[in-house]
């Protein structure tokens, strides 16, 4: 009989480490649906900072507005995504800057029902242009269904191109979980691709 120390060693599978979590940030103008999107995506109750709206434009559309950083979590495959939402009100811009730190991808949401949605987009390009030129991002245009001032996707595309930013522009109803999931999945795919191209 073979002694124990000569026995064929058993192969013990080495557990694959879970992929590193990713931080994704949602920015965009008041009422574009950042809170709605993160609420519908988050697998656990979203940590929110909603208060009754006081600013004119916030009151115009809805009763509450975000005044701090909000947080949700979801998974794509095995990757945990930390979802950070920011306030759309300009006076809280400093919080958006904090929330963006360390984010590997960004969703810029623009309310198409705003009287001047391209001016709104321009504002976020001014604030986050450097980030958008160097990181994966998606521009998501909401409220296509409830306004008559239709600015078409092609106009957002052109605007971005003219400002040296090439990222996909998608139409989105933030109330629809499947649509929001598609936006995040597309962003996730871009993040993975950019890591392969620029490891
Ligand atoms: N009709 C319509 N309503 C939408 C759409 N997307 C979101 N909404 C609604 O628009 C409102 C968006 O509100 P929020 O999610 O609070 O918007 P927000 O971007 O977080 O706003 P702030 O926190 O104030 O910056 C909600 O009442 C949504 O139900 C859309 O595509 N069409
Ligand atoms: Mg909000």
Interval 14-59: pLDDT, tens:
877 788 999 999 999 999 999 999 999 999 998 999 898 775 555 5
Least confident of 22-26, 28-32, 61-65, 139-143: 61-65
More confident residue, 63 or 105: 105
Domain coordinates of the chain in residue numbers? 19-197
What atom of ligand 1 comes closest to residue 88's alpha carbon?
25
Structural domain 19-197, CATH architecture = 3-Layer(aba) Sandwich (3.40)
What is the pLDDT, as a whole number, of residue 7?
74
Instruction: Please tell me the distance between residue 136's alpha carbon and the centre of ligand 2 in angstroms.
Output: 22
* Mean pLDDT over the full length of the chain: 91
Are the C-beta atoms of 172 and 112 separated by less than 8 Å?
Answer: no
b/e string for 144-176 if b means 16 or more Cβ within 10 A? beeeeeebeeeebeebbeeeebebbbbbbbbee
The residue whose CB lies within 8 Å of the most ligand 1 atoms, and thus the one to mutate among 25, 29, 30, 33, is 33
What is the pLDDT, as a whole number, of residue 56?
57
């Amino acid at each position: 009989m073979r002694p124990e120390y000569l026995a064929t060693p058993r192969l013990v599978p080495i557990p694959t480490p879970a992929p590193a979590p990713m931080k994704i940030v949602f920015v965009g103008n008041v009422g574009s649906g950042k809170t709605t999107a993160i609420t519908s995506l988050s697998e656990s109750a979203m940590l929110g900072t909603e208060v009754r709206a006081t600013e004119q434009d916030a009151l115009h559309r809805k009763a509450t507005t975000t005044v701090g950083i909000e947080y949700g979590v979801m998974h794509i495959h095995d990757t945990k995504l930390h979802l950070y939402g920011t306030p759309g009100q300009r006076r809280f811009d400093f919080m958006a800057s904090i929330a963006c730190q360390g984010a590997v991808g960004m969703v810029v949401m623009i309310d198409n029902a705003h009287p001047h949605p391209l001016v709104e987009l321009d504002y976020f390009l001014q604030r986050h242009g450097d980030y958008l030129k160097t990181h994966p991002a998606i521009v998501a245009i909401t409220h296509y269904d409830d306004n008559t001032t239709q600015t078409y996707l092609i106009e957002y595309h052109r605007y971005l191109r003219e400002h040296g930013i090439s990222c996909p522009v998608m139409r989105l109803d933030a109330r629809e979980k499947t649509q929001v999931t598609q936006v995040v999945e597309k962003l996730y795919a871009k993040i993975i691709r950019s890591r392969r191209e620029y490891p």
